[in-house]
Structure 1
Amino acid sequence: MPKTFLQGLFFTIVMAFIMVYAMICYNIALSTGGMTNQVFLMAFGEMKIMWPVAIILEMTIVEKLSGMLARRVINENMAPIAIIVIRSSMIVCLMCPIMSFIATLLFKNAGSEIIAVWLQTCAFNFPMALCWQIFFAGPLGRLIFRNCMKLVPTAEPVTE
């Protein structure tokens, strides 16, 4: 896991890309009635807005707050994988409603129904975001991070 600010920034950039791209594809598929090859290309239009937003949110607010929440649950006797799952879950619990609200404002044209549309968006997004993070994005992001850090000479190795 990241040990320095730059490692943390790199990890956040990678993880945010994986999560945001998948969630945008998911939401486009929901709104168009199904997954098609075109969805993968359409997602890049929203990526230029939502990816930087996710990085900024994670680096400024969510990282610290999710860490505080996770420390309330984590103890020193837990297996490393349990700690990873708890931390990842806390991040999803915070990022999903925030990113869903931003997406609702920018892309849903909710008008006076903004609260209802946002809550529905959260309800659709949360199960997908949690499963995607725990089973796919998290392991893939950590794999990419570890392999990239092997290429960078450091005083201490990056561990899980």
Structure 2
Amino acid sequence: MPKNRIQETIFTVMMVIVMVYGLVCYNIALETGGMKNFIFVAALSELPIMGLAAFILDTFIAGPIAKKKAMKLVNPKRDNPFMMVLAISVFSVLFMCPMMSFVATILFKGGFNAEMIATWLETTVKNFPMAFFYQLMIAGPFVRWIFGLIFSDKKVATEAEPQKEC
């Protein structure tokens, strides 16, 4: 997991890209009546604006709140470290899903109109199960795996270093 502010920012960018792309694909599929190949390309056009919104909301609102809530629920000294990861992930979805659904409602679903609140609530309810399971089962593990490959603490053995034989 991230060990400094630079790593935290890189991790957030990676998670935002994976989560936003997946949820944009999902929402386009909902709008078009099902998943189709064109959606993978169409989602790329929404990725920059929704990604920027997600990065800002996660960095300044949802991320800090999720970490505080997770720290109240999980004791890092006593509990398995995975429990902290799980708690942060759950709280992140809990806060990010309504906020990002609101952004999508404003930008892509009619904006400020008489039905805005109803549209936002409907969008949140439709997105929440997908965001929750996608985060816990696909995006979260995938991003943590890639992040671990990039920022591995393991020392790579070189020929200059003697290898111990068992």
TM-score relative to the length of structure 1: 0.91
Measured after TM superposition, the shift of residue 66 of structure 1 is 0.8
Counterpart residue number, 1:108? 109
User: Which moves more between the two structures, 103-112 or 8-17?
Assistant: 103-112
Give the 5 Å matches for 1:116-131.
Answer: 116-131=118-133
Measured after TM superposition, the shift of residue 47 of structure 1 is 0.5
Residues in 2 aligned to 1:68 and 1:48: alpha-carbon distance in whole angstroms: 28
Counterpart residue number, 1:149? 151
Counterpart residue number, 1:153? none
Residues in 1 aligned to 2:79 and 2:23: alpha-carbon distance in whole angstroms: 30
User: Which moves more between the two structures, 65-74 or 15-24?
Assistant: 65-74
Measured after TM superposition, the shift of residue 70 of structure 1 is 1.1
Instruction: Tell me, yes or no, if structure 1 residue 83 matches structure 2 residue 123.
Output: no
After TM superposition, what 4+ stretches of structure 1 lie above 4 angstroms from structure 2? none
Gaps of 5+ in 2: 155-166
Identity %: 42
Counterpart residue number, 1:25? 25
Decide whether the 8 Å contact of 2:19 with 2:135 is kept in 1: yes
Residues in 2 aligned to 1:57 and 1:125: alpha-carbon distance in whole angstroms: 17
Residues in 1 aligned to 2:15 and 2:5: alpha-carbon distance in whole angstroms: 15
Counterpart residue number, 1:99? 100
Considering fraction of residues, name the structure with more helix: 1
Counterpart residue number, 1:55? 55
Per-residue CA deviations over 1:61-114 (Å, capped at 9, x if unaligned) read: 221111111112112322222221111000000000000000000000152100
1:112 counterpart letter in structure 2 = A
Gaps of 5+ in 1: 151-156
Counterpart residue number, 1:14? 14
Question: Could you say what the CA RMSD is over the residues aligned between the two structures, in angstroms?
Answer: 1.2
What secondary structure does 1:112 align onto?
coil
Work out the number of aligned pairs and report it: 152
2:8 counterpart letter in structure 1 = G
Counterpart residue number, 1:154? none
Per-residue CA deviations over 1:12-66 (Å, capped at 9, x if unaligned) read: 0000000000000000000100000001011011111001111111111221111
What secondary structure does 2:73 align onto?
coil
Decide whether the 8 Å contact of 2:16 with 2:54 is kept in 1: yes
Q: Which has the larger radius of gyration?
A: 2
